[in-house]
Chain A
Amino acid sequence: MTPNPLWRRYARISGPDPAADVKDELSFHLQAKIDDLVTQGWSPETARHEAERQFGNVRAVQQIGARIGEKMERRKRLQDYWTDSLQDVRYTFRTLRRDPGFTVISILILALAIGANIAVFSVVNTMLLRPLPFPDSRQLVWIAPRPTACGLSCATYSADAYEEFREQSRVYQDVTGYMAFTTADNLRLTGRGEPEPATGFEVIGNFFQVLGVQPAMGRLFTPDEARGGLHPVALLANPYWRRQFASDPAIVGKAVELNGTPVTIVGVLPDSFDFGAVFSPGSKVDLFTPLDLNLERDWGNIVTLIGRLKPSVTVAQALDDANRVAPNIYFNVKYPQTLGRYKGDLIPAPLKDYVTGKLRRSLIALWCAVGAILLIAGVNLSNLLLARAVARAKEFAVRGALGASRGRIVRQLLMESLVLSSAGAALGLGLALMLIAWLAHQGSFALPLLGSLRIDGQALGWTVLVAVFTATIFGLLPGIRIASGNLQEMLKDSGPGAGLGRKHERVRAALVIFEVALACVLLVSAGLLLRSFVKVLDVDLGFQPDRSASIKVDYDESAPTEEARQAKRGEIFQQIIARVSALPGVEAAGISDYLPLGPNREWDTPVPKGKIFSPGELPDPLVYVITPGFVRALGIRMHGRDFTWADGPHSERVVLINASAARVYWPGEDAVGKILMRGNEEDRVVGVVDDVHEETVEGGTGSQIYYPAMQQGPSGAQLVIRTSLPPATLAASVLRALRELNHKQPSAEFRPIQTIVDRAVSPRHFFMLLVAAFAGLGLLLAALGIYGVISYSVTQQAQAIGIRMALGASVGHVQRHVLAGTLQLAFSGMVLGTLLALAVARLISSLLFATSSWDLPTYLGMALALLLVAAVSGYIPARRASGVNPTEVLRSN
């Protein structure tokens, strides 16, 4: 008996066959039995019958045998596969160690590409894929009218409307909302040293219950407290509790002083609840107080609506229900004529869509951009591996000759790419972690949920997926090329000029062209977004943000009558402005209750005196209550006159309107001197100011109206100064001046107006930055690709170059030849890329601003950048080519 007899190898040359083995084994048994019986004197015929009788059911046993055999065979194959794979891994590590340059470059390329993919996936996952951070968040809907020109006032509802809607709707578990007209630093925390500013939102009593937020400490508001209970209460946001109250574990039940009133802290909200991240991106909210609807009944539209749908109710059903309810809802129940004013204006939509819907397209574009980066990196790696594969052709041929199957060699190559991409993914994960940590703390980007950005299990899963995918795309092609090549031929001749080398070079050139084309698309997209961003920055906002700054001012206007309040307010404001204007460097100062590009509101529908308009024809202008000097301080152009301090409670009512409003009220006429009617009240238009972008930098502007703070009640005061110095240098002196007038003035943030504009354009800025970074990365990778191919072909053609130089070709000639090859590659890639880019640019046209998707400068810039980069990456090998020493090259081969 020999361990593995030769005949076995031939008998099973086409691979193991357990069923045949079983058959052989059993027939041997029967034959041996027959032999024995014959020796005992049986006739061969009867012996066979006897043997089969004694054996029992041959076929059944055979079937069992085949089944067991197959199972064993499978297990053996798996074991073999495993040992082979371990061997491959060991072998891979050895080969990669032998070529550290290649290894390091590949891992770096992969790390950049995979890292970008992980980071963007996390952003997309946080903002788009993951549900909002509330229990059963799919039930939450945001109820608002379609966007209109009259700002926040037309996106909110009155206290009465909220209550009626809540009562009459049948599809909600409950409806809640919050006071929309809240500005940053609207509260003053006193009684603890210097007054500190704080941002507090008034929310309807059931707000947290509807969202499903449980307090980390203490309790939520009770219905009594929500109805204007005797004792004012507040809930603290977790970061504010940690920062302002040093995480005081006994804070619940303590009283703090807000705007001079003692308020009891009833609870602290959990860290996971970030109001700003969801409802007001880019801003921080410190505390919450219950909104007393009774106090707000006559204030018009003030609350947003958020509903929690009953389980299994769809948004479409909710819309039907809202349309049913809308005609029965009063704007104000005291005025019957306001019934049905919200008809068609109660539109529930998933809260998630409200929060991040606007970003969907940008995020998808971003995702595609990193996808392209991954493809470019994959193609690059494919190219590098292909070059190596040709260089290693001999090695593979030898392995083939020694019995390694093609499948085995392909597996070996795939294992190499898998090891490389795993290393790249690990490093990329580190890069992504850093990028994500950085992004999560970029408060200046007003993007929802940015703070909750993190690498989670899903992102890790995505990493694995991306790593395996990349390994497959870049490992398979070289593997297939090698496996389909003739191993014998490789063994015979793998020197320069070999047929296989040529074929590989064509494949590699095609890959580079593809890579350049992808880089083209990225560059064009980034270019278009960059141009849009520049155009956005160039938008005439109607005011001049540079060299002007604002600070929230605290004042006490308490007086028995409205008239006395107005007079007192006027005095205080005049004092403040006189004092601040006297500071060195201040050119102008003024106060407004709202600033552009922030919250805003409208009051009613003024009518030009003596004119008749059909209902709905006149706009509801946005209202700003300002002091003299504000127009100049913000740098708004105007004609007519500014308000003066003489425009007091007893003098003629005056207003300023913007150009848009003037065009509607008195088309083709000068509005200055005309009268606007608000009910029976007459307001004289004393000046017309330019349109100010009130909500977005990119959108259009509607009608605006400005009232003097001495005649109308402002809802707060933002002091704006214009200075000839850098605004930040004035922060201390302005605050000191305000403190001298009012010791309760909190140290509110002194904000350059430019930061308000920056914040407004920050989402565009964010995406533009990322796409531009990815385009740069794509360009770099494409350059590496070009360099790799040209440099490799120069090495391969060293002999030919040497001969040509020996025959008298000049250095310049050789260099030109190599450069021409490079530019040919780049040019082919650019032609293909331009075609692709034209298609892609149309897809992203909705993300562009005042930039055509055919924007010529962008395409030219892209072409220039690519040609430049291609020239540089071709020049290095070209120099090397011209440095070839003919005698040496010729001797060496």
Chain B
Amino acid sequence: MDTAKLEFFRGTLDVLILKALIWGPLHGYAITKLIRRQSDDALLLEEGTLYPALWRLENKELLDAEWGFSENNRKAKFYRLTAEGRRQLRHEVKTWEAYAAAVAKVLGATQPPLPEEVA
């Protein structure tokens, strides 16, 4: 499968960002790197789209932002999960898993469904 072609479903990016921040505060660049590494380079996002998503989450108060210094001492904006963000992540993960399971069930079917009784 061509990894570069793997596109994001709408809303997927949000949940990935929330997940990325579960281990602690990160700046935007670190988030892109983390997502790429954890997906074994399978998910390649256009980096520019990350930021509007971050700001939207910040605006919704799922994230908290603070300025600080990066590992090589540059001024960077760090994002952190809020309590609300954590709750949202749990919820999204559940939804995602249920969705994925349902899709998998359909895709993994080996025979057509039994005909339904028509009243």
Contacts and interface: CB of A to CB of B under 8 A. Distances in A.
Interface of A: 1-5, 7-8, 21-22, 24-26, 28-29, 31-33, 35, 54-58, 60-61, 64-65, 68-69, 71-72
Contact of B77 (A25, A33, A55): A25
B5 interface: no
A29 B49 CA distance: 13
B55 A68 contact: yes
Nearest to B33: A36
Contact of A21 (B25, B47, B72, B77): B77
B48 A56 contact: yes
Which of B25, B28, B51, B72 has the most chain A CB atoms inside 10 A of its CB? B51
A860 B68 CA distance: 78
A787 to B, nearest CB: 55
B117 interface: no
A429 B11 CA distance: 56
B interface, by DSSP: helix, strand, loop or mixed?
A: mixed
B48 A24 contact: no
A76 to B, nearest CB: 11
A61 B51 contact: yes
A539 B5 CA distance: 105
Given A5-B67, A25-B28, A71-B59, A32 B74 contact: yes
Interface string B46-68: 11110110011011000000111
B75 A24 contact: yes
A28 B29 contact: yes
Contacts of A3: 66
A32 B75 CA distance: 11
B47 A1 contact: no
A28 B59 contact: no
B58 A8 contact: no
A28 B48 contact: no
Given A28-B29, A58-B48, A65-B51, A5 B59 contact: no
B75 A7 contact: yes
B55 A65 contact: yes
5 contacts: A3-B66, A57-B48, A60-B48, A69-B55, A72-B58
A69 B67 CA distance: 15
Given A25-B27, A28-B70, A56-B48, 7 more contacts: A1-B25, A1-B78, A28-B75, A29-B27, A32-B29, A55-B48, A60-B48
A60 to B, nearest CB: 8
B8 interface: no
A54 B55 contact: no
Contacts of B72: 35
Contact of B70 (A32, A56, A69): A32
Contacts of B70: 28, 32
A484 to B, nearest CB: 37
B71 to A, nearest CB: 9
Contacts of B49: 56, 61
Contact of B56 (A21, A22, A55, A68): A68
A270 B78 CA distance: 72
Given A29-B29, A29-B47, A8 B59 contact: no
Contact of B68 (A1, A55, A61): A1
A24 B75 CA distance: 8
A129 to B, nearest CB: 47
Contact of A28 (B25, B47, B56, B74): B74
Contact of A26 (B46, B51, B69, B75): B51
A72 B68 CA distance: 20
A613 to B, nearest CB: 93
Interface in B23-47: 25, 27-29, 46-47
B15 interface: no
A891 B49 CA distance: 76
Contact of B74 (A31, A57, A58): A31
B76 interface: yes
Interface residues of B, number: 25
Which of A2, A25, A31, A56 has the most chain B CB atoms inside 10 A of its CB? A25
A821 B66 CA distance: 62
B47 A54 contact: yes
Given A25-B51, A26-B51, A65-B52, A1 B46 contact: no
Interface of B: 25, 27-29, 46-49, 51-52, 55-56, 58-59, 66-70, 72, 74-78
A267 to B, nearest CB: 61
A306 B85 CA distance: 72
A348 to B, nearest CB: 64
Contacts of B55: 64-65, 68-69, 72
Contact of B47 (A8, A35, A55, A71): A55
Contacts of A61: 48-49, 51-52
Contacts of A72: 55, 58-59
Nearest to B46: A56
Contacts of B78: 1
Contacts of A2: 68
B52 A55 contact: no
Nearest to A66: B55
A28 B27 contact: yes
B65 to A, nearest CB: 9
A228 to B, nearest CB: 75
Nearest to A29: B29
A28 B72 CA distance: 11
A407 B74 CA distance: 36
Contacts of A57: 48
Nearest to A21: B77
A22 to B, nearest CB: 8
Contacts of A35: 72
A68 B25 contact: no
A64 B52 contact: yes
Nearest to A56: B48
A33 B47 CA distance: 10
B37 to A, nearest CB: 12
A866 to B, nearest CB: 63
A19 to B, nearest CB: 12
Contacts of A22: 51
Given A29-B29, A56-B46, A5 B68 contact: yes
Contacts of B56: 68
A31 B74 CA distance: 9
Nearest to B77: A25
A851 to B, nearest CB: 71
A39 to B, nearest CB: 11
Contact of B59 (A4, A55, A68): A68
B76 A25 contact: yes
A71 B56 CA distance: 11
Nearest to B68: A1
Contacts of A4: 66
A55 B55 CA distance: 16
A22 B29 CA distance: 14
Contacts of A33: 29, 47
B72 to A, nearest CB: 7
Given A1-B68, A68-B59, A71-B59, A28 B77 contact: yes
Contacts of A7: 75
Nearest to B74: A28
B27 to A, nearest CB: 7
Nearest to A57: B48
A72 to B, nearest CB: 5
B118 to A, nearest CB: 51
A8 B67 contact: yes
A68 B60 CA distance: 11
A55 B52 CA distance: 12
Contacts of A28: 27-29, 70, 74-77
A53 to B, nearest CB: 10
Contacts of B25: 1
A1 B59 CA distance: 22
Nearest to B47: A55
Contacts of B68: 1-2, 5
Contacts of A56: 46-49
B76 to A, nearest CB: 5
A556 to B, nearest CB: 90
